[in-house]
A and B are shown apart, each in its own frame.
Chain A
Amino acid sequence: MINFILNGEQVSSNSNQNERLLDVLRDEFRLTGAKCGCKEGECGACSVILDGKLVNSCMVAMGSIEDSTVTTIEGYSKTRRFQILSEAYAAVSAVQCGFCIPGMMLASECILAENPNPSEEDIRRGISGNLCRCTGYNAIVEAVGTAAKEGKGLW
Protein backbone atom coordinates (compact mmCIF):
# COMPACT_ATOMS: atom_id res chain seq x y z
CA MET A 1 0.00 0.00 0.00
CA ILE A 2 1.44 3.39 -1.02
CA ASN A 3 0.10 6.43 0.81
CA PHE A 4 0.30 9.92 -0.63
CA ILE A 5 -1.68 13.13 -0.97
CA LEU A 6 -3.39 13.54 -4.32
CA ASN A 7 -4.98 16.89 -5.16
CA GLY A 8 -5.30 17.67 -1.46
CA GLU A 9 -6.73 14.34 -0.37
CA GLN A 10 -4.97 11.57 1.49
CA VAL A 11 -5.10 8.50 -0.75
CA SER A 12 -3.69 4.98 -0.90
CA SER A 13 -2.77 2.99 -3.96
CA ASN A 14 -2.60 -0.75 -4.27
CA SER A 15 -0.37 -0.52 -7.30
CA ASN A 16 2.96 -2.23 -7.64
CA GLN A 17 5.83 -0.07 -6.37
CA ASN A 18 7.47 -0.23 -9.78
CA GLU A 19 4.52 1.16 -11.68
CA ARG A 20 4.74 4.58 -13.21
CA LEU A 21 2.89 7.36 -11.40
CA LEU A 22 1.46 8.35 -14.79
CA ASP A 23 -0.22 4.98 -15.31
CA VAL A 24 -1.59 4.88 -11.77
CA LEU A 25 -3.04 8.38 -12.06
CA ARG A 26 -4.77 7.50 -15.30
CA ASP A 27 -5.82 3.88 -14.67
CA GLU A 28 -6.43 3.68 -10.94
CA PHE A 29 -7.52 7.22 -10.11
CA ARG A 30 -9.08 7.99 -13.49
CA LEU A 31 -7.28 11.31 -13.71
CA THR A 32 -6.62 11.53 -17.42
CA GLY A 33 -5.32 15.09 -17.62
CA ALA A 34 -1.73 13.85 -17.55
CA LYS A 35 -1.14 12.45 -21.02
CA CYS A 36 1.18 9.66 -22.04
CA GLY A 37 3.44 10.98 -24.77
CA CYS A 38 6.90 9.47 -24.86
CA LYS A 39 7.51 7.59 -21.58
CA GLU A 40 11.06 8.92 -21.71
CA GLY A 41 10.78 12.27 -19.98
CA GLU A 42 11.18 14.07 -23.29
CA CYS A 43 7.78 15.60 -24.01
CA GLY A 44 6.30 16.87 -20.76
CA ALA A 45 2.72 15.81 -21.61
CA CYS A 46 2.58 13.80 -18.37
CA SER A 47 3.75 16.67 -16.13
CA VAL A 48 2.42 16.82 -12.58
CA ILE A 49 3.54 18.77 -9.51
CA LEU A 50 5.28 16.49 -7.02
CA ASP A 51 6.12 18.02 -3.63
CA GLY A 52 5.87 21.46 -5.18
CA LYS A 53 8.05 20.70 -8.19
CA LEU A 54 7.25 20.00 -11.80
CA VAL A 55 8.10 16.41 -12.75
CA ASN A 56 7.36 13.99 -15.57
CA SER A 57 5.02 11.43 -14.03
CA CYS A 58 6.24 8.82 -16.54
CA MET A 59 9.64 8.97 -14.81
CA VAL A 60 8.35 8.42 -11.28
CA ALA A 61 7.94 4.96 -9.79
CA MET A 62 5.09 4.67 -7.29
CA GLY A 63 7.39 3.31 -4.58
CA SER A 64 9.27 6.59 -4.51
CA ILE A 65 6.29 8.80 -3.65
CA GLU A 66 5.33 7.48 -0.20
CA ASP A 67 4.09 10.49 1.83
CA SER A 68 4.50 12.83 -1.14
CA THR A 69 2.08 15.43 -2.43
CA VAL A 70 0.89 15.14 -6.02
CA THR A 71 -1.10 17.79 -7.87
CA THR A 72 -2.51 17.04 -11.29
CA ILE A 73 -4.24 19.41 -13.69
CA GLU A 74 -7.58 18.24 -12.24
CA GLY A 75 -6.62 19.46 -8.78
CA TYR A 76 -4.89 22.56 -10.03
CA SER A 77 -7.88 23.57 -12.14
CA LYS A 78 -9.86 24.27 -8.96
CA THR A 79 -7.50 27.04 -7.89
CA ARG A 80 -7.64 30.78 -8.37
CA ARG A 81 -4.17 30.71 -9.89
CA PHE A 82 -5.40 28.33 -12.57
CA GLN A 83 -8.24 30.69 -13.36
CA ILE A 84 -5.87 33.61 -13.89
CA LEU A 85 -3.56 31.49 -16.05
CA SER A 86 -6.45 30.05 -18.02
CA GLU A 87 -7.82 33.52 -18.75
CA ALA A 88 -4.36 34.71 -19.78
CA TYR A 89 -3.98 31.75 -22.16
CA ALA A 90 -7.40 32.52 -23.64
CA ALA A 91 -6.73 36.25 -23.91
CA VAL A 92 -3.69 35.75 -26.14
CA SER A 93 -5.11 32.71 -27.94
CA ALA A 94 -2.47 30.36 -26.58
CA VAL A 95 -4.67 27.51 -27.66
CA GLN A 96 -3.29 24.05 -28.14
CA CYS A 97 -4.71 20.72 -29.18
CA GLY A 98 -5.28 19.48 -25.66
CA PHE A 99 -2.47 16.97 -25.52
CA CYS A 100 0.28 19.23 -24.25
CA ILE A 101 -1.84 21.89 -22.58
CA PRO A 102 -2.24 20.23 -19.16
CA GLY A 103 1.55 19.96 -18.89
CA MET A 104 1.99 23.50 -20.21
CA MET A 105 -0.39 24.85 -17.54
CA LEU A 106 1.43 23.03 -14.73
CA ALA A 107 4.80 24.15 -16.07
CA SER A 108 3.45 27.72 -16.19
CA GLU A 109 2.31 27.42 -12.58
CA CYS A 110 5.78 26.22 -11.51
CA ILE A 111 7.49 29.06 -13.38
CA LEU A 112 5.37 31.62 -11.53
CA ALA A 113 5.59 29.83 -8.18
CA GLU A 114 9.36 30.00 -8.38
CA ASN A 115 9.50 33.56 -9.70
CA PRO A 116 6.38 35.77 -9.79
CA ASN A 117 8.09 38.14 -12.23
CA PRO A 118 9.76 35.88 -14.75
CA SER A 119 11.67 37.25 -17.73
CA GLU A 120 10.92 35.91 -21.19
CA GLU A 121 14.08 33.83 -20.87
CA ASP A 122 12.86 32.38 -17.53
CA ILE A 123 9.54 31.43 -19.11
CA ARG A 124 11.18 29.82 -22.14
CA ARG A 125 13.51 27.87 -19.89
CA GLY A 126 10.59 26.86 -17.68
CA ILE A 127 8.58 25.35 -20.53
CA SER A 128 11.60 23.93 -22.35
CA GLY A 129 10.64 20.39 -21.34
CA ASN A 130 7.08 20.68 -22.63
CA LEU A 131 6.94 19.97 -26.31
CA CYS A 132 4.12 21.41 -28.39
CA ARG A 133 3.12 19.34 -31.35
CA CYS A 134 0.64 21.75 -32.90
CA THR A 135 1.57 25.38 -33.01
CA GLY A 136 4.36 27.01 -31.09
CA TYR A 137 5.50 28.65 -27.94
CA ASN A 138 5.28 32.40 -28.46
CA ALA A 139 1.66 32.73 -27.39
CA ILE A 140 2.29 30.59 -24.33
CA VAL A 141 5.26 32.72 -23.32
CA GLU A 142 3.05 35.79 -23.69
CA ALA A 143 0.27 34.14 -21.66
CA VAL A 144 2.57 33.41 -18.73
CA GLY A 145 3.78 37.00 -18.82
CA THR A 146 0.17 38.22 -18.84
CA ALA A 147 -0.76 35.96 -15.93
CA ALA A 148 2.21 37.29 -13.95
CA LYS A 149 0.77 40.80 -14.31
CA GLU A 150 -2.91 39.94 -13.88
CA GLY A 151 -2.33 37.66 -10.92
CA LYS A 152 -0.07 39.99 -8.99
CA GLY A 153 0.12 38.89 -5.38
CA LEU A 154 -1.26 35.43 -6.09
CA TRP A 155 2.15 33.94 -6.78
Chain B
Amino acid sequence: MVKSYFAKSLEEALEIRGRESVIPYAGGTDLMIEADDQASYLFLNKVPELKEIKADAEYIRIGAASTYAEILQSQLIPQILKDAVIEIAAPAIRNLGTAGGNICNGSAKGDSVLIFFAADAKLRLVTSKGERILPIKDFYLGRKKLALQKDELLVEILLKKTGLDHYYYKKIGARNALAISRVSFAGLLDMKDGKIINCATAFGAVSDVVIRRPDIDEMLAGKTTDEAKTVKDAYLEAFDEAIVPIRGRVSAEYRKSVCMNLLRDFLESNGI
Protein backbone atom coordinates (compact mmCIF):
# COMPACT_ATOMS: atom_id res chain seq x y z
CA MET B 1 0.00 0.00 0.00
CA VAL B 2 1.16 3.49 -0.78
CA LYS B 3 1.90 5.47 2.32
CA SER B 4 3.14 8.98 2.86
CA TYR B 5 4.84 10.23 6.00
CA PHE B 6 4.80 13.49 7.90
CA ALA B 7 8.05 14.16 9.78
CA LYS B 8 8.30 16.45 12.78
CA SER B 9 12.05 16.24 13.33
CA LEU B 10 15.12 15.59 11.23
CA GLU B 11 15.86 12.44 13.18
CA GLU B 12 12.41 11.07 12.40
CA ALA B 13 12.72 12.10 8.75
CA LEU B 14 16.10 10.37 8.35
CA GLU B 15 14.80 7.23 10.01
CA ILE B 16 11.87 7.04 7.56
CA ARG B 17 14.11 7.93 4.62
CA GLY B 18 16.49 5.09 5.55
CA ARG B 19 13.71 2.55 5.89
CA GLU B 20 11.21 3.38 3.15
CA SER B 21 11.32 4.30 -0.50
CA VAL B 22 9.97 7.84 -0.30
CA ILE B 23 10.07 11.05 -2.30
CA PRO B 24 11.19 13.98 -0.14
CA TYR B 25 8.51 16.70 -0.25
CA ALA B 26 9.56 20.15 0.94
CA GLY B 27 7.45 22.87 -0.71
CA GLY B 28 5.67 20.57 -3.10
CA THR B 29 5.49 23.10 -5.94
CA ASP B 30 7.45 20.99 -8.39
CA LEU B 31 6.00 17.67 -7.26
CA MET B 32 2.34 18.73 -7.32
CA ILE B 33 2.48 19.80 -10.95
CA GLU B 34 2.47 16.12 -11.77
CA ALA B 35 0.67 15.06 -8.60
CA ASP B 36 0.92 11.32 -8.17
CA ASP B 37 -1.55 9.66 -5.86
CA GLN B 38 0.59 6.51 -5.93
CA ALA B 39 3.72 8.29 -4.68
CA SER B 40 5.04 7.83 -1.16
CA TYR B 41 5.97 11.30 0.01
CA LEU B 42 8.04 12.21 3.01
CA PHE B 43 6.68 15.60 4.09
CA LEU B 44 9.54 17.77 5.34
CA ASN B 45 7.93 21.20 5.31
CA LYS B 46 7.60 21.39 9.08
CA VAL B 47 10.95 19.91 10.13
CA PRO B 48 12.55 22.74 12.18
CA GLU B 49 16.15 21.67 11.49
CA LEU B 50 15.51 22.02 7.76
CA LYS B 51 14.13 25.55 8.09
CA GLU B 52 16.98 27.31 9.84
CA ILE B 53 19.06 29.99 8.17
CA LYS B 54 22.18 30.66 10.20
CA ALA B 55 25.85 31.56 9.88
CA ASP B 56 29.08 30.20 11.29
CA ALA B 57 32.61 31.56 10.86
CA GLU B 58 32.90 30.40 7.25
CA TYR B 59 29.44 29.78 5.84
CA ILE B 60 25.88 30.98 5.59
CA ARG B 61 23.93 27.78 6.18
CA ILE B 62 20.52 27.62 4.52
CA GLY B 63 18.18 24.89 5.73
CA ALA B 64 17.03 22.99 2.66
CA ALA B 65 13.33 23.47 3.44
CA SER B 66 13.65 27.25 3.82
CA THR B 67 11.06 28.81 1.55
CA TYR B 68 11.91 31.54 -0.92
CA ALA B 69 9.89 33.95 1.21
CA GLU B 70 11.98 33.04 4.25
CA ILE B 71 15.17 33.48 2.23
CA LEU B 72 14.02 36.95 1.16
CA GLN B 73 13.32 37.90 4.77
CA SER B 74 16.61 36.72 6.21
CA GLN B 75 19.28 39.34 6.84
CA LEU B 76 21.98 36.70 6.46
CA ILE B 77 21.23 35.99 2.81
CA PRO B 78 23.46 37.76 0.27
CA GLN B 79 21.78 40.10 -2.19
CA ILE B 80 22.74 38.05 -5.26
CA LEU B 81 20.55 35.20 -4.02
CA LYS B 82 17.72 37.56 -3.09
CA ASP B 83 17.81 39.11 -6.58
CA ALA B 84 17.29 35.67 -8.10
CA VAL B 85 14.66 34.54 -5.61
CA ILE B 86 12.47 37.67 -5.94
CA GLU B 87 12.01 36.80 -9.62
CA ILE B 88 10.84 33.26 -8.96
CA ALA B 89 7.15 32.80 -9.84
CA ALA B 90 4.90 34.95 -7.61
CA PRO B 91 4.41 35.42 -3.84
CA ALA B 92 2.09 32.43 -3.33
CA ILE B 93 4.67 30.08 -4.85
CA ARG B 94 7.53 31.78 -3.00
CA ASN B 95 5.64 31.02 0.21
CA LEU B 96 5.80 27.29 -0.59
CA GLY B 97 8.82 26.63 -2.80
CA THR B 98 12.14 25.90 -1.13
CA ALA B 99 15.82 26.24 -1.97
CA GLY B 100 16.43 22.54 -1.36
CA GLY B 101 13.49 21.61 -3.56
CA ASN B 102 14.83 23.81 -6.33
CA ILE B 103 18.15 21.97 -6.14
CA CYS B 104 16.70 18.46 -5.84
CA ASN B 105 14.29 18.99 -8.72
CA GLY B 106 17.41 18.55 -10.83
CA SER B 107 16.61 21.18 -13.44
CA ALA B 108 19.15 23.55 -14.97
CA LYS B 109 16.41 26.19 -14.98
CA GLY B 110 16.31 26.54 -11.19
CA ASP B 111 16.85 30.22 -10.49
CA SER B 112 18.33 29.76 -7.04
CA VAL B 113 20.38 26.80 -8.31
CA LEU B 114 22.21 29.12 -10.71
CA ILE B 115 23.38 31.30 -7.84
CA PHE B 116 24.49 28.27 -5.83
CA PHE B 117 26.56 27.16 -8.83
CA ALA B 118 28.14 30.60 -9.32
CA ALA B 119 28.94 30.76 -5.60
CA ASP B 120 30.38 27.22 -5.59
CA ALA B 121 27.97 26.31 -2.80
CA LYS B 122 28.35 23.06 -0.93
CA LEU B 123 25.56 20.70 0.05
CA ARG B 124 25.30 18.87 3.36
CA LEU B 125 23.75 15.47 2.71
CA VAL B 126 22.76 13.46 5.75
CA THR B 127 21.63 9.92 6.49
CA SER B 128 20.74 8.39 9.84
CA LYS B 129 24.27 6.98 9.87
CA GLY B 130 26.37 9.96 8.86
CA GLU B 131 26.84 12.86 6.49
CA ARG B 132 28.92 14.15 3.62
CA ILE B 133 29.54 17.56 2.13
CA LEU B 134 29.48 17.78 -1.64
CA PRO B 135 30.15 20.74 -3.97
CA ILE B 136 26.91 21.48 -5.83
CA LYS B 137 28.71 20.91 -9.13
CA ASP B 138 29.27 17.27 -8.16
CA PHE B 139 25.66 16.81 -7.08
CA TYR B 140 24.34 17.15 -10.63
CA LEU B 141 25.09 14.13 -12.80
CA GLY B 142 22.84 15.07 -15.71
CA ARG B 143 19.31 16.20 -16.44
CA LYS B 144 17.19 15.12 -13.44
CA LYS B 145 20.08 12.91 -12.30
CA LEU B 146 21.44 13.65 -8.87
CA ALA B 147 24.11 12.15 -6.66
CA LEU B 148 21.50 11.77 -3.92
CA GLN B 149 21.53 8.35 -2.26
CA LYS B 150 18.27 6.59 -1.48
CA ASP B 151 18.67 7.08 2.25
CA GLU B 152 20.00 10.66 2.09
CA LEU B 153 18.37 14.02 2.61
CA LEU B 154 19.72 17.39 1.56
CA VAL B 155 19.80 19.21 4.88
CA GLU B 156 21.78 22.41 4.31
CA ILE B 157 23.18 24.55 1.55
CA LEU B 158 26.50 26.14 2.50
CA LEU B 159 27.38 29.50 0.99
CA LYS B 160 30.76 31.07 1.56
CA LYS B 161 30.38 34.32 3.47
CA THR B 162 32.82 36.28 1.35
CA GLY B 163 33.26 37.11 -2.30
CA LEU B 164 29.56 37.36 -3.17
CA ASP B 165 29.07 41.12 -2.97
CA HIS B 166 30.27 42.17 -6.39
CA TYR B 167 27.93 40.37 -8.73
CA TYR B 168 26.00 40.50 -11.98
CA TYR B 169 22.71 38.68 -12.42
CA LYS B 170 20.22 38.57 -15.28
CA LYS B 171 17.24 36.36 -15.91
CA ILE B 172 15.71 36.34 -19.36
CA GLY B 173 12.07 35.22 -19.31
CA ALA B 174 8.95 35.79 -21.35
CA ARG B 175 7.37 38.16 -18.82
CA ASN B 176 8.01 39.66 -15.38
CA ALA B 177 6.02 37.37 -13.09
CA LEU B 178 5.54 33.62 -13.22
CA ALA B 179 8.14 33.19 -15.93
CA ILE B 180 10.44 30.23 -16.31
CA SER B 181 13.95 31.28 -17.28
CA ARG B 182 14.87 31.05 -20.93
CA VAL B 183 18.42 31.94 -20.13
CA SER B 184 19.89 33.05 -16.83
CA PHE B 185 23.37 34.21 -15.99
CA ALA B 186 25.26 35.02 -12.83
CA GLY B 187 28.78 36.37 -12.59
CA LEU B 188 30.92 37.15 -9.57
CA LEU B 189 34.05 39.24 -9.69
CA ASP B 190 36.03 39.48 -6.51
CA MET B 191 38.81 42.08 -6.60
CA LYS B 192 41.55 42.76 -4.11
CA ASP B 193 44.30 45.37 -4.41
CA GLY B 194 43.30 46.02 -8.02
CA LYS B 195 43.54 42.36 -8.98
CA ILE B 196 40.89 39.78 -9.74
CA ILE B 197 41.12 37.14 -7.05
CA ASN B 198 38.07 35.23 -8.18
CA CYS B 199 35.89 35.29 -11.27
CA ALA B 200 32.98 32.86 -11.31
CA THR B 201 30.29 32.57 -13.96
CA ALA B 202 27.27 30.30 -14.33
CA PHE B 203 24.78 29.86 -17.16
CA GLY B 204 21.32 28.48 -16.41
CA ALA B 205 18.50 27.07 -18.55
CA VAL B 206 20.92 26.42 -21.39
CA SER B 207 22.00 22.83 -21.06
CA ASP B 208 21.05 19.76 -18.99
CA VAL B 209 23.01 21.10 -16.05
CA VAL B 210 23.96 24.67 -15.14
CA ILE B 211 27.20 25.47 -16.97
CA ARG B 212 30.01 26.42 -14.61
CA ARG B 213 33.56 26.31 -15.94
CA PRO B 214 36.12 27.34 -13.30
CA ASP B 215 38.90 26.24 -15.63
CA ILE B 216 37.96 29.00 -18.09
CA ASP B 217 37.18 31.61 -15.43
CA GLU B 218 40.65 30.91 -14.05
CA MET B 219 42.08 32.76 -17.08
CA LEU B 220 41.16 36.05 -15.41
CA ALA B 221 42.48 35.26 -11.96
CA GLY B 222 45.40 37.26 -10.64
CA LYS B 223 45.01 39.91 -13.35
CA THR B 224 44.19 43.60 -13.19
CA THR B 225 41.25 44.65 -15.36
CA ASP B 226 43.70 45.98 -17.95
CA GLU B 227 45.56 42.67 -18.00
CA ALA B 228 42.24 40.84 -18.20
CA LYS B 229 41.45 42.75 -21.41
CA THR B 230 44.42 41.08 -23.08
CA VAL B 231 42.89 37.64 -22.59
CA LYS B 232 39.28 38.74 -23.14
CA ASP B 233 39.04 37.36 -26.67
CA ALA B 234 40.50 34.01 -25.69
CA TYR B 235 38.20 33.88 -22.66
CA LEU B 236 35.10 34.60 -24.74
CA GLU B 237 36.20 32.08 -27.34
CA ALA B 238 36.64 29.39 -24.72
CA PHE B 239 33.09 29.96 -23.45
CA ASP B 240 31.80 30.11 -27.02
CA GLU B 241 33.06 26.55 -27.37
CA ALA B 242 31.98 25.44 -23.89
CA ILE B 243 28.37 26.56 -24.18
CA VAL B 244 26.44 24.02 -26.21
CA PRO B 245 22.77 24.86 -25.67
CA ILE B 246 19.97 22.40 -26.12
CA ARG B 247 16.82 23.34 -27.95
CA GLY B 248 13.81 23.88 -25.68
CA ARG B 249 10.98 26.36 -25.88
CA VAL B 250 13.49 28.63 -27.53
CA SER B 251 16.11 27.77 -30.11
CA ALA B 252 19.64 26.74 -29.25
CA GLU B 253 20.98 29.62 -31.39
CA TYR B 254 18.96 32.15 -29.41
CA ARG B 255 20.22 30.75 -26.12
CA LYS B 256 23.79 30.80 -27.32
CA SER B 257 23.74 34.40 -28.45
CA VAL B 258 22.01 35.54 -25.23
CA CYS B 259 24.63 33.74 -23.14
CA MET B 260 27.49 35.37 -24.99
CA ASN B 261 25.85 38.81 -24.83
CA LEU B 262 25.38 38.49 -21.07
CA LEU B 263 28.94 37.27 -20.56
CA ARG B 264 30.31 40.17 -22.59
CA ASP B 265 28.11 42.63 -20.70
CA PHE B 266 29.33 41.19 -17.40
CA LEU B 267 32.94 41.79 -18.43
CA GLU B 268 32.32 45.22 -19.89
CA SER B 269 30.32 46.42 -16.90
CA ASN B 270 33.45 45.59 -14.90
CA GLY B 271 35.72 47.52 -17.24
CA ILE B 272 37.10 44.45 -18.99
Which chain B residue shows the least CB distance to A22?
B32
Contact A128 B95 (CB under 8 A): no
Interface size on A, residues (CB 8 A): 31
Q: Cβ of A63 and Cβ of B93 under 8 Å apart?
A: no
Complex CA gap A54/B5 in Å reads 24
Question: A8-24 vs B: 1/0 string, CB under 8 Å?
Answer: 00000000111110000
Q: Tell me the number of A-to-B contacts counted with CB atoms below 8 Å.
A: 95
Within the assembled complex, what's the spacing in Å between the Cα atoms of A59 and B178?
14
Task: Say whether B25 contacts A129, CB under 8 Å.
Answer: no
* Contact of B90 with A by CB under 8 A: yes
Contact present for A60 and B28 (CB under 8 Å): yes
Near A by CB (< 8 A), chain B positions 1-57 give: 2, 4-6, 25, 27-29, 31-33, 35-37, 39, 41, 43, 45-46
A41 x B37 contact (CB < 8 A): no
Q: Is the interface on chain B under 10, 10 to 19, 20 to 34, or 35 or more residues?
A: 20 to 34
| A54-B95, A129-B90 known; A63 vs B32 contact (CB < 8 Å) | no
Bitwise, A46-84 to B at CB < 8 A (1) or not (0) is: 010010011110111101101100000000000000000
Taking beta carbons and an 8 Å cutoff, which residues of B are in contact with A?
Answer: 2, 4-6, 25, 27-29, 31-33, 35-37, 39, 41, 43, 45-46, 69, 89-93, 95-96, 176-178
A residues in contact (CB < 8 Å) with B: 16-20, 39-42, 44, 47, 50, 53-56, 58-61, 63-64, 66-67, 107, 110, 125-126, 128-130
